Amino acid sequence: MWKDDLPNSLFIQMILLDDSRLNDILEQQQLGMNCYVHRQTGQLITVPDPDQFSELETQDWQADIHQLETSPEQYWPVPRLSSRDQFRFMEAFVDQLPEGAFQSKLLAILSRPKPFRHFKDAIDRSGSYRLAWFAFRDEQTLLWLKGQLALVE
């Protein structure tokens, strides 16, 4: 089986990462974890982001942290989605909405200070658009991660 035969999968130096594994990575990142993929085995190691967790909270991950520190060249650090990319997803979501009051409201929110907070509040109160936003965001995030992984192939 060749890489081209696997449209919903990616290889990192011949390691297959399917959509399920990619979604696992994204979920771990949303929980504040840093993710690393072993370049030969595809093993996923997740450790708490030191900017988000205290040293006391990271004790359970000391073996994994030590493994990463002693052989960093063996692991590929999975990049995190930037706030700029997240903002682009919000813009793209608004652009694909039908023209109307809700789209206009979201467009105005995106041009104001603190757009993330206001966008979240508007989406949370929007009823059916809330689920559509989460599905859109998750799909875009998965596509973004696949694009990032393609850069290291």
pLDDT score recorded for residue 153: 52
Give the mean pLDDT per block of 10 residues along the chain (153 residues). Answer: 43 65 92 91 90 79 93 92 96 97 98 98 95 96 87 57
Q: Which residues contact 78 (CB under 8 A, 6 or more apart)?
A: 25, 29, 34, 35, 36, 37, 145, 148, 149
Q: Residue 129 corresponds to which tokens in the numbers above?
A: 């658009």
pLDDT score recorded for residue 39: 86
Spans of all domains in the chain: 3-79, 83-149
pLDDT score recorded for residue 59: 82
pLDDT score recorded for residue 18: 84
pLDDT score recorded for residue 151: 58
CA end-to-end distance (rounded Å), the chain: 17
